[in-house]
Amino acid sequence: MAWNLSKDDDAGPSWSQRGFLGLPFHILLVDDDEDMLWCLRSVLSSGGYCLRSAVSGQEALWEAGSVSLDLVIVDAKLPDVDGMDLASEIKRLQPGTPVLLISGYYYAEDLIIKEAIQRRVIDGFIAKPFDIGEVVESVEEFRRTVGKVNAGGRR
């Protein structure tokens, strides 16, 4: 059975119900580097995740406004928007949806990253270049967290 996951459709489960019900975990990948998108898609699709991708902030906002997402992975530097600004806008469109920032410009120790996590603009950070296993581990942790939150009825 396929669910229409648009925000206007009341027939299917909300994003917060899907993890609890064992339904697909939907991830939006946002990076202007198509090779990076290919790499992330290749690895994550083998884990059974439902993936969408965007190469610009504009495409990402369209996706976030069109379908329910369980996680968004955003590159910090996009040609049309800063990744932090995009993360904020995604959070506005889909409150509660976690955003994982990836970047070759910042490091986990950078004050801007620490502040963004503290202010809940982003929910995690991975510096490029990264071990793909680190991304998989982070995605799996977000998936487990969504399931725990749903089981406790807090979302």
C-alpha pair distances (Å), 2 with each of 5, 11, 18, 23, 153: 9, 11, 13, 10, 24
Which residues 6+ apart lie within 8 Å of 50 measured at CB? 24, 25, 26, 27
**Structural domain contains residue 43:** yes
End-to-end CA distance of the chain: 24
21, containing H or E segment: helix 15-21
Question: What is the reported pTM?
Answer: 0.81
**Structural domain contains residue 87:** yes
Print pLDDT tens along the chain (155 aa). Answer: 232 333 333 334 433 344 444 668 999 999 999 999 999 999 999 888 999 999 999 999 999 999 999 999 999 999 999 999 999 999 999 999 999 999 998 988 999 999 999 999 999 999 999 999 999 999 999 999 876 554 443 33
Q: Which residue range is the domain that position 138 belongs to?
A: 23-151
**Structural domain contains residue 113:** yes
**Structural domain contains residue 2:** no
CATH code (residue 118): 3.40.50.2300
**Structural domain contains residue 14:** no
Residue 61 corresponds to which amino acid?
L
**Structural domain contains residue 3:** no
> Domains in the chain: how many in total?
1
